[in-house]
Amino acid sequence: MAGTIALTEWGSAGPEERARLIGRPEGALKMFDPELSRSVGEIVLDVKENGDDAIVRALSRFDGCEVEPDRIRVSEEEFERARAGIDPDLAAAIRVGIDNVRSFSERAIADLDWREEIAEGLVVGEKATPIESAGLFVPSGKGSYPSVLIQIGAPAVTAKVANIAVVVPPVAGGGGEVDPGVLFVASELGISDVFRVNGPAGIAALAFGTETVPQVLQVVGPGSPPVSAAQIECQRYGCVTRMVLGPSESVIVADRTADRELLAADLLNEAEHGPDSASVLVTDSRELIEEVEEPLARRLAELPEPRREYAAKALANGGAILTSDLAETAEVANQFAPEHLQVAVAEEREEEMIGMLVNAGEILVGQQTPIAAANYVLGVPAALPTGRFARVSSGITAETFLKKASIAKASQAALARLADSIVVLAEHEGFPAHAEAVRARAASRD
């Protein structure tokens, strides 16, 4: 069908068409572009070799602001101005988001430490401890994003990471100022190490450390393709980067009971992020697709530019996929493996649908659980895998900032029961000292 959202019937689509439908728009994986990797690699190497001077050059070149090295670190005076000048409604919203993310994070790691006797005299378990340091990248550019620091900072604080550094590019068109909303979030979280650094240079600064920015063990945070490319490049030098994030994407699985107005509103939610985003409706109801066209077109026309243009292109990247039944709807969603997945089916069918969904960064159940709410204040992770990586990875939670050590304790009797198996395996693999270490214990008992 012509119009705001194009329709494709899954059952009649060939392999190439299906691959296109579940693929990602051109530019979604730009972070792997060789030319981008080369140019970003030069910035990364400059920071590695020249530290703060390279940061200053990057700020001048890419942000058009002149910042002396002693201004790279955000001052306490800037924090004080942010706290004093914050809009009370924004402050309240930030606190709601932080509280809910903390609650989710606390529950997510509540049961990570455990021990259990799996056989008589043999106790095994795990101990989770925080990583020593983490760097959090908060993007800037198309807008300012205090919500990003809520979503990745609160989990790091909940995990009790001892040393947390935040890098954030200055707001566009200014003289190096950092978004006060971001500073207010940092203040609420108790994070005082915040640095104004351009995107790729900021990733490199965290990876290697400079005269001002501390080196960290792990870097986390979303960003533009150059930022993602910098994370990839820094991995070559041994810095751990978690989740290279691409453009936003969403899938809504729906049946004929879905409210058309709410469906139209939610289809535009992630679509407005950018022209390389994707917004997809998957349903077994042709009638629903036809009837959502009018409210979708109306709501799209009401968006200001450039969001209207972004959303129109994102809808073209996605569209509507017509399936034969609920099971095929779930199959398509699983193949797409979206960042955001909303379930808009009859309430009595929700659990059935949830049971069939296995590949998604998040699953939001019901039309009273919009993606917008999850992005900001529901408490669930909002830094989520994109580009079909939801098939193998998960969102950023407090567990992202923890590492686990396994624990085991065997009694003399338990080891004696296992001794023959250990010796057989050691001898098969050609490790006589392994076998002797167990025989020595048997000899000491004789």
Banded model confidence at residue 223, pLDDT cuts 50, 70, 90? confident
Give per-residue pLDDT as tens, 340-394: 999 999 999 999 999 999 999 999 999 999 999 999 999 999 999 998 999 999 9
185 and 324 in a single domain? The answer is: no
Write down which residue in 198, 226, 242 finishes a domain. 242
Residue 1: the pLDDT is 39
Residue 7: strand pairing partners: 320
Query: Residue 229: is it exposed, middle or buried by C-beta count within 10 angstroms (0-12/13-18/19+)?
Result: buried
| Annotated active-site residue in 273, 340, 362, 399 | 340
Q: Is residue 399 in a domain?
A: no
230 and 318 in a single domain? The answer is: no
Give per-residue pLDDT as tens, 181-205: 999 999 999 999 999 999 999 999 9
Q: Is residue 417 in a domain?
A: yes
175 and 40 in a single domain? The answer is: yes
Question: How many other CB atoms sit within 10 Å of the CB of residue 62?
Answer: 16
**pLDDT average, residue stretch 87-99:** 98
| Annotated active-site residue in 270, 339, 362, 399 | 339
99 and 200 in a single domain? The answer is: yes
94 and 222 in a single domain? The answer is: yes
263 and 210 in a single domain? The answer is: no
Total domains in the chain come to 3
19 and 51 in a single domain? The answer is: no
Q: Is residue 38 in a domain?
A: yes
**Residue 421 Cα distances to 402, 413, 418, 430, angstroms:** 33, 14, 6, 14
Give per-residue pLDDT as tens, 108-130: 999 999 999 999 999 999 999 99
Q: Is residue 396 in a domain?
A: no
Q: Is residue 387 in a domain?
A: no
pLDDT at 414 over 60: yes
351 and 428 in a single domain? The answer is: no
In the chain, pLDDT over 90 holds for what percent of residues? 81
Q: Is residue 76 in a domain?
A: yes
190 and 212 in a single domain? The answer is: yes
Boundaries of domain holding 353:
7-27+247-379
Does the active-site annotation cover 339? yes
Banded model confidence at residue 67, pLDDT cuts 50, 70, 90? very high
40 and 16 in a single domain? The answer is: no
Strand stretches in 180-257, DSSP E: 194-196, 218-220, 240-242, 249-254
pTM of the entire structure? 0.92
Q: Is residue 117 in a domain?
A: yes
221 and 352 in a single domain? The answer is: no
Task: Give the CATH number for residue 86.
Answer: 3.40.50.1980
328 and 271 in a single domain? The answer is: yes
Query: Residue 405: is it exposed, middle or buried by C-beta count within 10 angstroms (0-12/13-18/19+)?
Result: exposed
Q: Is residue 400 in a domain?
A: no
